[in-house]
């Protein structure tokens, strides 16, 4: 394996080729941690009770023009959706920041990511940062290093993903957990 390929696989946590065909057939979710400078994206597949990380990355955005940054988010999320064909998108809700301008820009980044999902026919699910942390760490006020550690443990990764990619994976896992609970409730109601 050439060193460039090895670096790419380690950096982005791609699934091994022998697991890919089996994993992609199962339900999978793309999680998004939107940001105006770095947007996290992560794709998680569930195989029985096992969670598998298919891809995780921090999409670094160009400086300057907001339109170019939003275009990059849309393009990269669209590429990931085409490649992995997830069944749903889970995205972190915007929190009300102290700086209204920052909240507006973050809202634009969320919109670009959501548009990529909607254009691909995905159903979009939104979760607050507190819900995500509670779901994967057990504490709604967990810090980023705790989320990173839990992604490494829950997904059996060789190393913890970057913070933004880790948050995106956590968002995807949160949706998987919520979907499981909804299915159990629906079965119990029948």
Any idea which residues carry the catalytic annotation? 33, 92, 164
Alpha carbon separation from 67 to 15, 62, 70, 71, 115 (Å, rounded): 32, 10, 5, 6, 14
Q: What is the DSSP string of 76-135?
A: HHHHHHHHH--SEEEEEPPP--SSHHHHHHHHHHHHHHHHHHHHTT-EEEEE-HHHHHHH
Q: Are 72 and 56 in contact (CB under 8 A)?
A: no
**Contact by Cβ (8 Å): 40, 168:** yes
Helix (H, G, I), strand (E, B) or coil at 39: strand
From residue 66, alpha-carbon distances to 36, 80, 131, 151 in Å are 8, 21, 29, 31
Using the structure block, give the residue that is written with the tokens 């990931």: 80
């Amino acid at each position: 394996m050439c060193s460039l390929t090895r670096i790419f696989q380690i950096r982005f946590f791609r699934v091994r080729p022998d697991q890919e065909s089996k994993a992609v057939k199962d339900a999978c979710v793309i999680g998004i941690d939107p940001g105006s400078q770095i947007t996290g994206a992560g794709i998680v597949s569930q195989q029985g009770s096992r969670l598998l990380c298919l891809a995780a990355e921090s999409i670094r955005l160009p400086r300057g023009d907001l339109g170019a940054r939003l275009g990059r988010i849309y393009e990269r999320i669209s590429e990931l959706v085409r490649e992995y064909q997830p069944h749903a998108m889970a995205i972190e809700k915007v929190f009300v920041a102290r700086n209204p301008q920052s909240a507006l820009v973050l809202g634009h980044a969320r919109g670009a990511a959501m548009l990529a999902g909607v254009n691909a026919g995905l159903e979009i699910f939104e979760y607050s940062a507190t819900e995500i942390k509670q779901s994967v760490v057990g504490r709604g006020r967990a810090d980023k290093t705790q989320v990173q550690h839990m992604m490494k443990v829950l997904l059996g990764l060789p190393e913890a993903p970057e913070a933004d990619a880790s948050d995106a994976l956590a968002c995807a896992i949160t949706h998987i957990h919520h979907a499981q609970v909804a299915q159990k409730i629906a079965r119990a109601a029948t």
